[in-house]
């Protein structure tokens, strides 16, 4: 019962805010990202330079992203572009050598939505800044920063400019309730939600979520695009050891 009321309260608040701030709302909300984010946020692109998903630089040769972004992809058909927040200006493009999907990734329920990509050659150190993975778990109300080249409107093309959005970690229980008709929100996932008009859209998947300059999550799934439901992300802490071992061995 409590959960139900919480969800109603949130939805009513969201509707109220929508009415009162209509002019300020832009999907996905947020501002243009400062250039520092371009050094660890990777744009995974197809061979014609279309942005497909985001990712994060975790070593001089490895990128983490969401498994659903690269599950059936051949490495030779994807490029990793990094070093810029403007896809039409600056940055460098790198070839991929291989892709490793987390073993227990399940496409339909999105559990363990995580993959590590190895580049054909190491990044040029001028283009990147390796982001550390935070081994500590996230808590409700923690403040996190999301960046993405995702679309700015429903069914829109992805954005050529990276945007940044400050969010808070949403109640796991309320999120599970809000998403109950979609799929279960499990312990290796977390949610963010502020209001309608702020959230993820097509092309944001795989993108890094950062807290105190450390990587805490990757955008995984949701009901696009900021229509009033939480966004669901892969937690990094439970996968800390797995990612470290991939960086060493793969």
Ligand X SMILES: *[C@@H]1O[C@H](CO)[C@@H](O)[C@H](O)[C@H]1NC(C)=O
Q: Which residues, at least 6 apart from 248, have a Cβ–Cβ distance to it below 8 Å?
A: none
Asked about 113 being catalytic, the answer comes back as: yes
Q: What three-state secondary structure class fits 130? A: coil
Widest pairwise Cα distance in the chain? 55
Residue 129 CB contacts under 8 Å (≥ 6 apart), including other chains:
36, 39, 40, 57
Which residue in the set 59, 111, 200, 234 belongs to the binding site for ligand X (CB under 6 A)? 111
Candidate list 35, 76, 93, 106; residue touching ligand X; CB under 6 A: 106
Is 76 or 106 the residue whose CB approaches ligand X more closely? 106
Residues near 62 by beta carbon (within 8 Å), at least 6 away in sequence: 116, 117, 118, 119, 246, 247, 250
Contacts with ligand X, 50-69, as mask; x by CB under 6 A: x-------------------
Task: Judge whether 200 and 148 are in contact, CB under 8 Å.
Answer: yes
For ligand X, which is the closer residue by CB, 20 or 108? Answer: 108
Give least dist CB 173 to ligand X, A.
16
User: Alpha carbon 155 to chain centroid distance?
Assistant: 18
Kindly state the DSSP code that residue 64 receives in the 8-state scheme. Answer: E
The nearer residue to ligand X, 34 or 184, going by C-beta atoms, is: 184
Does residue 202 have an active-site annotation?
A: no
59-to-20, 37, 64, 124, 216 alpha-carbon distances in Å: 45, 16, 10, 12, 16
From 41-49, 127-135, 191-199, 209-217, span contacting ligand X (CB under 6 A): 41-49
Report the nearest approach of ligand X to the CB of residue 156 (Å). 12
Residue 104 near ligand X by CB under 6 A? yes
Using CB under 6 A as the binding rule, whether residue 46 contacts ligand X is answered as yes
What are the angstrom distances between the C-alpha of 102 and each of 143, 180, 193?
A: 27, 25, 26
- Is 76 a binding residue for ligand X by CB under 6 A? The answer is no
State yes or no: is 60 an active-site residue: no
Q: Is 249 a binder of ligand X (CB under 6 A)?
A: no
Q: Single out the segment in contact with ligand X by CB under 6 A; choices: 27-35, 45-53, 121-129, 239-247.
A: 45-53
| CB 220, min distance to ligand X, A | 13
Q: Which residue number, 59 or 112, has a Cβ lying nearer to ligand X?
A: 112
**83's tokens:** 């070093």
Interface with ligand X (CB under 6 A): 46-48, 50, 104, 106, 108-109, 111, 184
Catalytic machinery residues: 68, 113, 205
């Amino acid at each position: 019962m409590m959960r139900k009321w919480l969800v109603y309260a949130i939805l009513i608040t969201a509707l109220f805010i929508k009415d009162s701030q209509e002019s300020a709302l832009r999907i996905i909300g947020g501002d243009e990202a400062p250039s520092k984010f371009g050094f660890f946020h990777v744009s995974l692109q197809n061979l014609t330079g279309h942005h497909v998903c985001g990712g994060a630089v975790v070593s001089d040769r490895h990128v983490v992203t969401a498994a659903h972004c690269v599950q059936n992809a051949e490495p030779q058909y994807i490029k990793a572009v990094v070093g810029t927040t403007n896809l039409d200006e600056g940055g460098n493009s790198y070839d991929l050598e291989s892709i490793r999907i987390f073993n227990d990734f399940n496409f339909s329920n999105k559990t363990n939505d995580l993959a590590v990509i190895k580049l054909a050659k190491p990044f040029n150190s001028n283009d990147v800044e390796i982001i550390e993975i935070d081994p500590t778990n996230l808590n409700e109300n923690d403040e996190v920063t999301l960046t993405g080249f995702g679309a700015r409107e429903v069914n829109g093309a992805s954005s050529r400019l990276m945007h940044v959005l400050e969010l808070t970690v949403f109640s796991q229980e309320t999120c599970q309730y809000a998403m109950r008709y979609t799929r279960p929100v499990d312990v290796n996932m977390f949610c963010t939600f502020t209001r309608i008009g702020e959230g993820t859209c097509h092309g944001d998947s795989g993108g890094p979520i950062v807290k105190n300059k450390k990587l805490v999550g990757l955008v995984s799934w949701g009901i696009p695009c900021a229509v009033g439901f939480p966004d669901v992300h892969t937690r990094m802490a439970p996968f800390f050891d797995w990612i470290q071992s991939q960086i060493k061995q793969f």
